[in-house]
């Protein structure tokens, strides 16, 4: 499946309150299967502003791998852990690459919502929390949970709850 179709399928699954507001992108800077093919990245925008950057060169430079261990690829991956997270970042520099983003998008399309929410990858968890199949009770359960979750998931959970709240308020006025 081409990226444009994958992107469209993922974004069409987003809840109505976030359709068109959250978008996923990828690009490659170079052609062919050589070193320049590594210069690529993915990113997620909110209302046209980039909020997450998945940079393959950063990932390879910092960890020597294109895949995060949570991506569950059969390709070589390095355990990427951070002792101290920057509180203002959704992901740490190099934590995920474009390959992680695209691989997780492909995997996500073939999962049910429960499996996606319980997956090891914060990318898949985040896509699931934006999905219209994720209901209000599930959102509430995660919002009230005391379990420590990835900052990427926390951001999209708060975004989804706020967007749904605003949409409900707008519809009742």
Per-residue pLDDT of 2-60, as tens digits, reads 989 999 999 999 999 999 999 999 987 766 555 555 678 889 999 999 999 888 777 77
Domain ranges of the chain: 3-172
How much is the pTM?
Answer: 0.82
Contacts of residue 38, defined as CB under 8 A and 6 or more positions apart, other chains included, come to 30, 56, 57, 60, 66
The model's pLDDT over 57-95, given as tens digits with 9 standing for 90+, comes to: 777 767 666 656 666 555 555 555 655 666 667 777 778
What tokens appear for 79 in the block? 């355990």
């Amino acid at each position: 499946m081409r990226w444009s179709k994958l992107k469209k399928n993922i974004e069409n699954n987003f809840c109505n309150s976030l359709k068109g507001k959250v978008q996923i992108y990828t690009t490659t800077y170079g052609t062919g299967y050589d070193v320049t093919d590594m210069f690529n990245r993915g990113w997620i925008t909110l209302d046209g502003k980039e909020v997450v950057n998945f940079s393959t060169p950063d990932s390879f430079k910092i960890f020597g791998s294109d895949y995060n261990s949570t991506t569950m690829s059969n390709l070589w991956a390095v355990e990427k852990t951070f002792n101290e997270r920057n509180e203002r970042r959704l992901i740490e520099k190099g934590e995920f690459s474009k390959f992680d983003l695209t691989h997780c998008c492909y995997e996500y399309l073939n999962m049910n919502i429960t499996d996606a929410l319980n997956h090891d990858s914060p990318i898949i968890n985040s896509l699931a929390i934006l999905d219209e199949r994720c209901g209000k009770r599930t959102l509430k359960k995660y919002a009230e949970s005391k379990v420590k979750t990835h900052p990427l998931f926390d951001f999209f959970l708060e975004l989804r709850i706020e967007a749904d709240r605003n949409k409900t308020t707008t519809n009742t006025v």
